[in-house]
Structure 1
Amino acid sequence: MNDYALELAGIEKVYKRGLPGEVAVLRGATLEVRRGEVVALVAPSGAGKSTLLHIAGLLDTPDAGSVALTGRNMVGLSDRDRTLARRGDVGFIYQFHHLLPEFTALENVVIPQLANGVAPAMAETRAHDLLARVGVADRASHRPAALSGGEQQRVAFCRALANGPKLLLADEPTGNLDPETSDQVFGTLMSLVRETGLAALIATHNLDLAARMDRIVRLDQGRVTEIKAAAPKPVQG
C-alpha cells in the first residue's frame, strides 16, 4: 500500500492578468504528506497557499506537474472522475465555515453523505457520532445562525470528515476565531485527525498552532521548503 495520501511533484501554476503580464504563483512546488501525518503549511499573504490547496484537492488543475491521491495519479482524469475522487478521498475546511444556513447542524453533516450514496439512516448515525465526538451533539437540531463561531467550525469539521476522506485540507481553519476558541477548536481538529488516522495539510498563519503539528513546510517564491522536520521514530530494539 502506498504510504502517501498526497503527492505533489513539480507543480506549476501561472495566472494571466491582462496582456502582457503573467503571475507565476507556483514554480515547481513539491510536497508529500503521509497517511496519519499532520503538516502545517505557512506562507506570506499572496504566496499561493490557497492555490496549492485547491490543486491538492482537485478543485483546480496545475499547468505542469503531477498530483496523486493515495498513489493514484489525478492528472488527466475526466471532470466526473475528479469529482468522484474529491468527494470520496478529500475533506475541506475553510476559515469561514460555509455551512448551509437553512439546514441544521445534523443535516449539514448528513447531506455530503447522501450525495455520496450513503443510505439516510447510516448517514444520520455517522453524523450524530461525529457531532458527539466534537462536543456539539446537543446542538444537532440548531441551524448555523444559532451556533457560536466555535460550534459552527466544529460542525464544519464533521462535515469535512463525513465521507471518511483519506486527506484533509484546511485553509486557516481557526483564523476567524478568538485566540481561546481557536486553541480549543484546533485541539478538537487534532483529536479528530489522530483518531481517524487520515493525512492532513493545514494552512495557517498561527505559528504556535503550526508548532503542534508533525511537520512545518513553507511556501515561498512558488516552492515548498521544510522548516520543521518530522521527529525521528524510536529505534526498535
Structure 2
Amino acid sequence: MSDTVLALQGIAKTYNVGLPSQVEVLRGVDLSVDAGEIVALVAPSGAGKSTLLHIAGLLDTPDTGTVTLAGQNLTGQSDRRRTLARRADVGFIYQFHHLLPEFSALENIVLPQLSNGVTKGEARARGLMLLDKVGVAPRAHHRPAELSGGEQQRVAFCRALANGPRLLLADEPTGNLDPATSDQVFDTLMTLVRDTGLSALIATHNLELAARMDRTLRLDAGRLSTA
C-alpha cells in the first residue's frame, strides 16, 4: 500500500460571481501528504486555501482533477461514498471551535463516534482519553460556554480525532486565539498529531508555526509552490 494518504492532481476550481464574471480559485494544483507527515499551507486571504481544504476533505468537488484519499480515487464518486470516506478517514478543525453549545465537552466528542456505530461506553472511554491527552479531562462535563478559548479549541481537536481519521485538515486552527494561547494550543495540536501518527494539512498565516511543520507549501494566485 502507498504511504501517500492524500493526493490531489490537477485540481482546478472556478466560481461564477455573476455572469459573465468568473474567479479562478485553483489552477491545476498538485499536492500530496504522506503518512505521518505534517504539511503547512500558507496563503494570503482569498487565495483559495479553504476551497483547497474542502476539496481535499471531500466537502467540495473540483471542476477538473483527481482526489485520492487513503488509496481510493474518489473523483466522481457518489455523495454517499464520499461521505463514508470522509467520516472514516478525515478530521476537520476550523478557526472557530463550532462545538455544540448544549452538550458537554465529552458529549461533543462522543456524538461523532455514535454516528459511526461505536458503542456509548467505547465512545466515552475514547473521549476521556483524548481529553486527557490535551489536558482538559477535568473539564469533561463542562459546556463550551464554561470553557476558555484555548480549552474550547482543544476539545475541537479531540472531536476531530474522535473517529480515528488518517488525515487531519485544519484551517487556521489557532487564528482566533491570542498569541500566547495560540502557541500553547498549537503545541498541543502538534503533540496530539505526532502521538497518533496522523497525516495533517494545516493552513496558517503564521510563518513561525509553519516552520515547525515538516514542510511548507504556498498557495497564491491559484497555484501551489514550495515555500
Indicate the TM-score class for this superposition, using the shorter chain for normalisation.
Answer: over 0.9
Instruction: Output one character per residue of 1:45-86: Cα deviation in whole Å (capped at 9) or x when no partner.
Output: 100000000000000000000000011101111111111110
Q: How does 1:112-127 map to 2 (within 5 A)?
A: 112-127=112-127
Which residue is equivalent to 1:136?
136
Segments of 5+ residues of structure 2 without an aligned counterpart are none
Secondary structure (helix, strand or coil) at the match of 1:6 reads strand
Which residue is equivalent to 2:165?
165
Secondary structure (helix, strand or coil) at the match of 1:27 reads strand
Secondary structure (helix, strand or coil) at the match of 1:5 reads strand
In 2: Cα distance, 1:18 partner to 1:211 partner: 39
**1:31 has 2:31 as partner:** yes
Secondary structure (helix, strand or coil) at the match of 2:11 reads strand
**1:179 has 2:179 as partner:** yes
State the 1:122 CA deviation: 0.3
Q: Which amino acid aligns with 2:53?
A: L
Secondary structure (helix, strand or coil) at the match of 2:18 reads coil
Which residue is equivalent to 1:54?
54
Q: How does 1:81-230 map to 2 (within 5 A)?
A: 81-227=81-227
Which residue is equivalent to 2:77?
77
Which residue is equivalent to 1:21?
21
State the 1:110 CA deviation: 0.2
Instruction: Output one character per residue of 1:152-207: Cα deviation in whole Å (capped at 9) or x when no partner.
Output: 00000000000000000000000000111000000000001101111000000000
In 2: Cα distance, 1:77 partner to 1:166 partner: 20
In 2: Cα distance, 1:117 partner to 1:74 partner: 23
Instruction: Output one character per residue of 1:88-135: Cα deviation in whole Å (capped at 9) or x when no partner.
Output: 100000000000000000000000000111111000000000000000
Q: Which amino acid aligns with 1:31?
A: L
In 1: Cα distance, 2:213 partner to 2:223 partner: 20
Runs of 4+ off more than 4 Å = none
Segments of 5+ residues of structure 1 without an aligned counterpart are 228-237
State the 1:2 CA deviation: 1.1
In 2: Cα distance, 1:19 partner to 1:95 partner: 32
What RMSD in Å do the two structures reach over aligned CA positions?
0.5
TM-score w.r.t. the length of structure 1 is 0.95
Q: Which amino acid aligns with 1:135?
A: G
In 1: Cα distance, 2:13 partner to 2:176 partner: 28
Q: Which amino acid aligns with 1:180?
A: A
